[in-house]
Amino acid sequence: MNDLISIFVIIVGIGFAGLVLYLLSYKYSKDKYIDYGDNWTVVEGHITGAPALLSDFDKIPNATKMVEKYSFDKISDTRFRVFLIIDEHFDKIPNAANIIERLSHDPVAFIRRGALLGVKKHFDKIPNAANIIERLSHDSNKFVKSEAAEGVLSHFDKIPNAAKITEELSYYSDKDIKLQCVKILKKHFDKIPNAKKIFVKFSQTSDEDINPILIKILRYRFNEIPDAPEIFSRILSTIMTTVTKFDNEVSFLDTLHIFSEHFYEIPDAKEMLKIFVNTNKNYIEDLSREEYLKNMLENIFNKISDERIKI
């Protein structure tokens, strides 16, 4: 009997102790919960969601200090959410630029990429913005590199080594990095000393995402690029063997312009044009109803002396 009483006392004691601990931990969590706003989610003492601070920033005392604190949090998702708050309230956070620069050194790749997103949007407000982009263009992570390339595209004229960064990134095989580099080339061709060299290198690939941009560059730089007729022929052959029709109307029109202006320079132009027309016959019929396009098409076909291509 005494043993049963003893066991009962122990059970009651353990239960009471557990209740005390629960109440203490509840008070601790509740205090933190209230401090962070009603919509914060707290897991093991760390923040995993920040809708209240994001939407009610101006209503929360010491909000700027909280942002600084969470930027040091050991949970990477919390650190990333800091960017969302800074993005919305940059001008209200005195040390926002410093937080972004510090997180650009974060060991987690998607945090470094998040820092670049902040740099791109608030470039003029971040003293070391150009240096951050250049440093992260050498990052070991391809997604960070691609984001850095996009930063160069957005702020080329404000980054002293933009041309050098573009050329260095052009050697990477990742398709997203290449795509950003080709976009930079198209927009800033005259400002990149080795632009022609980079263009020729890209033209030797068969990437369906960059080929339309290469065609666009050729349209306006045909006479500047070495072996432009052969390059155009090669790119167009690749496009025509990988797609059934031109989905990009702009690229389609760029191709027609090149045929119109450089027909006699393009190897096997007549045969290529026939294939091009037959592949896109319905599309051309629609376009030919517009007067300026009709005149351009007639100009192309009039250059063929011994055989006319019927539309």
pLDDT tens-digit profile of 236-269?
888 777 654 555 555 778 888 898 889 889 988 8
What residue numbers bound the domain in which 282 lies? 195-311
60: left (phi over 0), alpha (psi -120 to 50) or beta: beta
Q: Can you give the pLDDT at residue 291?
A: 65
- What gap in Å lies between CA 14 and CA 258, rounded to an integer? 85
Are the C-beta atoms of 161 and 152 separated by less than 8 Å?
no
* Eight-state DSSP code of residue 289: T
Between CA 105 and CA 111, with CA 107 as vertex, the angle to 5 degrees is: 75
Amino acid at position 233, single letter: S
Angle 287-288-292 from CA coordinates, rounded to 5°: 95
| Residue count of the chain | 311
Per-residue pLDDT of the chain (311 residues; tens, 9 = 90+): 555 455 544 554 555 444 434 433 433 333 332 233 434 443 444 444 445 777 788 888 888 999 999 999 999 998 999 998 999 999 999 999 999 999 999 999 999 999 999 999 999 999 999 999 999 999 999 999 999 999 999 999 999 999 999 999 999 989 999 999 999 999 999 999 999 999 999 998 877 789 889 999 999 999 999 899 999 998 888 877 765 455 555 577 888 889 888 988 998 888 888 777 777 766 666 666 666 666 666 766 666 544 444 44
pLDDT of residue 68: 92
In this structure, are residues 258 and 232 in contact, taking their beta carbons and an 8 Å threshold?
Answer: yes
Question: What is the phi/psi pair of residue 43, to 5°?
Answer: -120, 115
pLDDT of residue 28: 32
d(CA 152, CA 159): 7
Is residue 113 a part of any domain in this protein? no
| Region of 309 on the Ramachandran plot (φ > 0 left; ψ -120 to 50 alpha; else beta) | beta
Give the pLDDT confidence score for residue 6 in this predicted structure.
56
For residue 39, being part of any structural domain is answered with no
In this prediction, residue 106 carries a pLDDT of 97
The reply to whether 16 falls in a domain is no
CA distances from 86 to 23, 61, 93, 95, 135 (A): 35, 16, 7, 10, 22
* Chain-centre distance for alpha carbon 278: 36
Q: Is 121 within the bounds of a domain?
A: no
Distance CA 143, CA 149 (A): 10
Q: pTM here?
A: 0.75
Residue 177 lies in a domain: no
Rg of the chain in Å (alpha carbons): 30
Residue 295 resides in a domain: yes
Structural domain includes residue 308: yes
Predicted confidence at residue 24, as pLDDT, reads 38
- The answer to whether position 7 is within a domain reads no
Number of domains in the chain: 1
Alpha-carbon span 80 to 112, nearest angstrom: 9
What pLDDT score does 286 carry?
Answer: 67
